[in-house]
A and B are shown apart, each in its own frame.
Chain A
């Protein structure tokens, strides 16, 4: 009370024409607290959104990206469910009544072999149709395409995750510590960047094939084959450099921000600053680059499979299917066209999703 009185004394009008309000003319009743409703009327701000919600809202408005997400989801659902519905295995030759069906090779889509036809006529039971026909060894082509898609997609995703992890760690260490550490680490990146990756993959696949095959024999990896493992090795050795460069660049700009300085001033440890303050801010770039890494890995895999350096038989990938189809290109073109369409569809959809994510989450890149 005492101080208020003092203020009132000081606030007295000194000059006659001044617009200063003479508080001595008012008493306590003239000032009342605003009601909650009145406060709400003043509140003109929109509802606050998080970075993620904001990006998702923009992404949802992008019809191409949403369509691509639906396509990819549909493909994932099909390749998960189809092996449970379709009674054939990817390596299994068609059997009728427990007997190997020699007439079942090279069937056209939805065609039944002679033995199957006879069986259906005599027993009245339905045989599951060969949606894409059969291949030259009498294996159901539909289930092979399904397994090929599974392999190609998982190779892409695993490769992208590997690139992400290695590139993230390397790039953030180089960018955060800077100076000599950064200089040396980036020279290494420069050198790796200038190596012809595809040639080294081919070379390693050829050579490791002989070395790895006895090592992995009997393990679950053997089913995938040494070629795929050498491809992953090369991805881990060479492909992360793009990601590392990008993350380093991001971190170099972010680490000069005031909030990083503030965190350091209160004694936060390096690892925590990186994890809590710097990495979340380059999250958008990381997500976009990882999303675009998947189709590029699928490309590489299909290319290698096409050279005959893909997954080992009888497992297959989309590239291997396309390669096998070349032998009978003129008579059975659908065996090339189907895996080709699936590759294009997946790569196209993933590219469009990546572009959509970039438009939605990274305003700087626009």
Chain B
């Protein structure tokens, strides 16, 4: 176990280093430097500026210096607003985290419930309805769903207000973000539930006279949930990228909107920092998922 965890952590660190290297060196591909303006800068001033921002050093050294800064919480300043990126990211991420966290919890709980219902009523109407809805849910991109929800419930029916900082209503964005992972978890739970209902230990439990409810919840569902754990990492990645468009559509001022704005503004330092931040989050989420998966299921061997 210890060896597996160590190996997995090593892999995560390597991934983070690679992502940061890709972001850094890709940014170097952009033609023109940050001090290239239409009006020529005085060469002496240019030299001082380049020294101040380490731009005169070889690119490898620049990368190491940048990473040192990142580890010390110095993520640079935005090219457009001039504000410190790290404070910007952390303040905006709190909004995104609330939204994404709620969507993840909703997706997991509802997915498990629907999946179990579908497995227990196999080939009857609740199962068929759930299968139909999940197939539809996985075929709809989050931005389509988000825009349609906004159109129908906020603009046409006016049941819910459009999001504003004074009137924060997260209902629709949470639904828009959670439908796809919910559909996926439903499918996953259904297959693994059907699989575990066919196991010998279920028959044994039933033969011993354990009540039906107890068999389902204590014996079948507990084992059926193990594959669901593996999806938590990818789900977090999906929600993080999905929230970029969903936040944008509902005009929520979270990290997603900030990222999309920085793309349209070509605010390269913010793009770089946000990419790195989200990538680190995703890698950590995947790491924890993998470790949790191995911890929960004692049948898995560690090699």
Chain A contacts to B: CB under 8 angstroms: 190-191, 194-196, 198-200, 202-204, 206-208, 210-211, 295, 299, 302-303, 306-309, 319, 322-323, 326, 329-330, 333, 336-337, 340, 343-344, 347-348, 351-352
How many Å lie between the Cα of A202 and that of B142 in the bound state? 17
Contact A191 B278 (CB under 8 A): no
Question: Taking the complex as formed, is B64 at the interface, i.e. its CB lies under 8 A from any CB of chain A?
Answer: no
Considering only residues 12-33 of chain B, those with a C-beta below 8 Å from chain A are 12, 14-15, 18-19, 22-23, 26-27, 29-31
Tally of B interface residues using CB under 8 Å: 45
Question: Taking the complex as formed, is B292 at the interface, i.e. its CB lies under 8 A from any CB of chain A?
Answer: no
Q: Mark B265-302, 1 if CB is under 8 A from A, else 0.
A: 01010011001001100110010000000000000000
How many Å lie between the Cα of A333 and that of B148 in the bound state? 9
Question: Separation in Å of the A3 CB from the closest CB of chain B?
Answer: 59
Considering only residues 27-45 of chain B, those with a C-beta below 8 Å from chain A are 27, 29-31
A-B residue pairs in contact (CB < 8 Å), sample of 26: A191-B11, A194-B286, A195-B22, A196-B241, A200-B275, A202-B271, A203-B23, A203-B26, A203-B271, A206-B266, A206-B268, A206-B271, A210-B29, A211-B31, A303-B241, A303-B245, A306-B143, A307-B244, A307-B260, A319-B143, A329-B155, A330-B155, A336-B151, A343-B140, A343-B144, A347-B141
Question: Separation in Å of the B274 CB from the closest CB of chain A?
Answer: 9
Chain B contact residues: over half helix, strand or loop, or mixed?
helix
Contact A351 B139 (CB under 8 A): yes
Question: Separation in Å of the B190 CB from the closest CB of chain A?
Answer: 14
Q: What is the chain B residue whose CB lies nearest that of A330? A: B155
How many Å lie between the Cα of A329 and that of B153 in the bound state? 13
Given A329-B147, A336-B151: 12 more A-B contacts, CB < 8 Å: A194-B12, A194-B283, A198-B241, A199-B279, A202-B263, A203-B271, A207-B29, A211-B29, A303-B142, A307-B260, A340-B140, A352-B135
How many Å lie between the Cα of A299 and that of B275 in the bound state? 20
How many Å lie between the Cα of A199 and that of B278 in the bound state? 8
State whether A309 and B141 are in contact (beta carbons under 8 Å apart), knowing that A191-B18, A195-B15 are contacts in the complex.
Answer: no
Contact A202 B286 (CB under 8 A): no
Residues of B within 8 A of A302 (CB): 141, 143
Contact B148 A336 (CB under 8 A): yes
Question: Taking the complex as formed, is B237 at the interface, i.e. its CB lies under 8 A from any CB of chain A?
Answer: yes
Residues of B within 8 A of A340 (CB): 140, 144, 147-148
Considering only residues 133-170 of chain B, those with a C-beta below 8 Å from chain A are 135-136, 138-144, 147-148, 150-151, 155
Other-chain residue from B14, B135, B237 in contact with A348 (beta carbon distance below 8 A): B135
Contact B279 A195 (CB under 8 A): yes
Q: What is the chain A residue whose CB lies nearest that of B238? A: A198
Q: What is the chain A residue whose CB lies nearest that of B262? A: A206
Contact A196 B282 (CB under 8 A): yes
Contact A329 B151 (CB under 8 A): yes
Residues of A within 8 A of B30 (CB): 207, 210-211
Contact B271 A196 (CB under 8 A): no
Contact B15 A194 (CB under 8 A): yes
Contact A351 B138 (CB under 8 A): yes
Question: Separation in Å of the B30 CB from the closest CB of chain A?
Answer: 6
Question: Separation in Å of the A334 CB from the closest CB of chain B?
Answer: 11
List of 6 A-B pairs having minimum Cβ-Cβ separation, nearest first? A348-B139, A194-B15, A347-B139, A340-B144, A198-B241, A196-B282
Contact B263 A308 (CB under 8 A): yes
Question: Separation in Å of the A294 CB from the closest CB of chain B?
Answer: 13
Q: What is the chain A residue whose CB lies nearest that of B12? A: A194
How many Å lie between the Cα of A303 and that of B144 in the bound state? 9
Q: What is the chain A residue whose CB lies nearest that of B279? A: A196
Contact B135 A326 (CB under 8 A): no
How many Å lie between the Cα of A80 and that of B272 in the bound state? 41
State whether A326 and B249 are in contact (beta carbons under 8 Å apart), knowing that A196-B19, A200-B22, A206-B271 are contacts in the complex.
Answer: yes
Question: Separation in Å of the A252 CB from the closest CB of chain B?
Answer: 15
State whether A195 and B19 are in contact (beta carbons under 8 Å apart), knowing that A303-B245, A340-B148 are contacts in the complex.
Answer: yes
Other-chain residue from B31, B141, B150, B155 in contact with A210 (beta carbon distance below 8 A): B31
Contact A303 B143 (CB under 8 A): yes
How many Å lie between the Cα of A206 and that of B79 in the bound state? 15
Residues of A within 8 A of B138 (CB): 351
Question: Separation in Å of the B55 CB from the closest CB of chain A?
Answer: 18
Question: Taking the complex as formed, is B211 at the interface, i.e. its CB lies under 8 A from any CB of chain A?
Answer: no
How many Å lie between the Cα of A329 and that of B264 in the bound state? 21
How many Å lie between the Cα of A299 and that of B22 in the bound state? 24
Contact A336 B147 (CB under 8 A): yes
Contact A194 B11 (CB under 8 A): yes
Residues of A within 8 A of B283 (CB): 194, 196
Contact A204 B279 (CB under 8 A): no
Residues of A within 8 A of B135 (CB): 348, 351-352
Question: Separation in Å of the B291 CB from the closest CB of chain A?
Answer: 13
Contact A343 B18 (CB under 8 A): no
State whether A343 and B275 are in contact (beta carbons under 8 Å apart), knowing that A207-B26, A329-B147 are contacts in the complex.
Answer: no
Q: What is the chain B residue whose CB lies nearest that of A298? A: B141
Question: Separation in Å of the A91 CB from the closest CB of chain B?
Answer: 23
Question: Separation in Å of the B278 CB from the closest CB of chain A?
Answer: 6
Other-chain residue from A196, A323, A344 in contact with B140 (beta carbon distance below 8 A): A344
Residues of B within 8 A of A295 (CB): 139
How many Å lie between the Cα of A41 and that of B144 in the bound state? 63
Residues of B within 8 A of A309 (CB): 263
Contact A322 B143 (CB under 8 A): yes
Residues of A within 8 A of B23 (CB): 203
How many Å lie between the Cα of A306 and that of B143 in the bound state? 8
Residues of A within 8 A of B245 (CB): 303, 306-307
Residues of A within 8 A of B15 (CB): 191, 194-195
Residues of A within 8 A of B272 (CB): 203
Residues of B within 8 A of A344 (CB): 136, 139-140, 144
